[in-house]
Amino acid sequence: MSMTYYTLGNSGLRVSRMALGTMTFGTEWGWGTDRDTARAMFDAYVEAGGNFFDTADLYTGGTAETWLGEFVAERGLRDKAVIATKFTFNSEPGNPNAGGNGRKNIMRAVDASLKRLGTDSIDLYLM
């Protein structure tokens, strides 16, 4: 099967029409997939030609980003992969600067996401 790629808005990024969402990577929320199942989903998507991955800093407490980063690295796909991640929700109840769209939280969230993803860049950052 041949995947068709499309330009994402005016970003210049070429992405597969369907993104692989990773909100179900991990079972910390009492539902979702274990690591082996998540890996099988990732592999099937990549083998079909998919290159656009959607995740978020707080999906399953960070497990989704961690596993996605590991799966991308294990297959050597970082240059082909387009990784989108999100932030905004408060990661630390009681700390007013650990959530929201202010600079302090943006910097905290992007640094944490880069570390979990094991990369030095995020292709699309959403709030």
Residues assigned a catalytic role: 59
Q: Do you know the residue count of the chain?
A: 127
Q: Which of 66, 78, 70 is nearest to 113 (CA)?
A: 66
Contact 33, 41 (CB under 8 A): yes
Buried b (16+ CB within 10 A) or exposed e, 20-47: bbbebbbeeeeebbeeeebbebbeebbe
Helix, strand, or coil (residue 70): helix
Contact 126, 86 (CB under 8 A): yes
